[in-house]
Structure 1
């Protein structure tokens, strides 16, 4: 099942993508794709609905972030063996955990802002994991049972802010629009194996990233179990699980985002994102 949110910023409605690629309105069944609506019981109820009975959404509406009211946006650093190699950094013994401000979440095709003073804005195609049930002190064997579904996240980063402006990585990770999310939340029954998903990112038509979740250092289950030892994960929390090689910082010479650049991101079965870079707004 592919769930989504459509409409203007701040006024998104819940929707479902049917087998013909048409957006269907779920407003009569749930208030939003968020929180309690991600529970197994609610998802089972939505699966039981015949999409043909839902209103078709006319036109070409804006697609918002596929999850609303995200409580925590947690990210994992250096989680791909081949990405660590391109960065000339050792693989960590435990997951590297950092946060992105939830205010940086945006729709999958919204413009990405280049911050004022930016000199090293970068891209990162990542598998997003959306929590569906409360997870605290869970085992690795039980971890995936707490997942509602998966989505694409672009962990946009400003490397100079991240690495040279002192303090935690959050400074380089949290500018407005630095977490395009979606287009869909694909529920777990439609993702056979989260550790076998091809993922790509192109910049202005040139392939930059071409990898697979097979090369994750810490699996999705390991990451969830690890995080749950330090914090309770709640329905609607999102985990960005790391990126494969091909980021701008790892190129020789390095390549960074500029106004007018276009990124296209794809993960097998999870859809496509397309963003144009613009100057930061007030």
Structure 2
């Protein structure tokens, strides 16, 4: 099953995605063409958002890091999220802003000190994110400050959540990013340094993961700087296409 979160008739509602992703079926039974939907990030308010850096071997090599170094983990705020077909502002001085396609694992039940062998049993579903980075603001790779990774609407998420039962092997998925139809990033989840199960075990060792918490699992190689007006599409096999539109950040 695919579940989307949308804004409809003055309310936030969840809907099932049916008819080859062309139609949304609301809990009320009402249907809506997917093309008419006002998409929201498919997330639970208040859920924690864990983000991973340097968690793909090819991306580490691209940036000149040794594979023995542990992945970087940091937190993101809900202010960063925007939905499918949303608009993301690019700062006037953000000439090195680039998209990062990532698989997102969503926790379905409390997880504490979970073993790698059991970790996937705690996943309720998966979605796609585009975690934009702005390299002008980067202090260093192990300190991704607020100006880089916690800016408003710089993390598109969606379009929907795919149930974990429909995606039994999260380590065999292809990822791709296009900008205006041109491929700028391509890879596979099999290249993660810590796979989804390993990340859940690692994070749950020191804290309890709660239902709705999200783990953004990192991005493969490919750095492409984008401009206002660009259409950016992040696609993951078995989940879907997340479309985002870059715009110039309004002058305050």
**Alignment length, in residue pairs?**
249
Contact 1:114 1:258 in 2 (8 A): yes
Cα distance per residue 1:14-43 (max 9 Å; x no partner): 0001244310002x5xxxxxxxxxxxxxxx
Q: Who is 1:199 aligned against? A: 175
Say if 1:70 and 1:238, in contact at 8 Å, map to a contact too: no
Is 1:180 the equivalent of 2:181?
no
Residues 89-128 of structure 1 aligned to structure 2 (within 5 Å): 89-128=65-104
**SS of aligned partner of 2:79:** helix
Give 1:269's aligned residue. Answer: 238
Contact 2:72 2:142 in 1 (8 A): no
Higher helix share: 1
TM-score computed with the length of structure 1 as normaliser: 0.82
Distance 1:164 1:222 in 2: 25
**Superposed counterparts of 1:218-237, under 5 Å:** 218-237=194-213
Return the match for 2:106 from 126, 130, 137.
130
For the structure 1 residues 274 and 235, does the alpha-carbon distance in structure 2 shift closer, same or farther, using more than 3 Å as the test?
same
Say whether 1:213 aligns with 2:214.
no
Hey, what does 2:221 align to over in structure 1? 245
**Deviation digits for residues 249-269 of structure 1, max 9, x if unmatched?**
xxxxxxx22111111111011
Residue 128 of structure 2 is aligned to residue 152 of structure 1: yes
Compared CA separation, residues 209 and 165, structure 1 to 2 (3 A):
closer
Q: Distance in 2 between matches of 1:147 and 1:164?
A: 31
The C-alpha deviation readout for 1:144-168, integer Å capped at 9, x for no partner, is 1111100001111112212369954
Q: Is the 8 A contact 1:115 1:175 kept in 2?
A: no
- Displacement of 1:92 in angstroms is 4.4
- Between the aligned partners of 2:9 and 2:146, the Cα distance in structure 1 is 24
SS of the residue 1:14 aligns to: strand
What's 2:4 paired with? 4
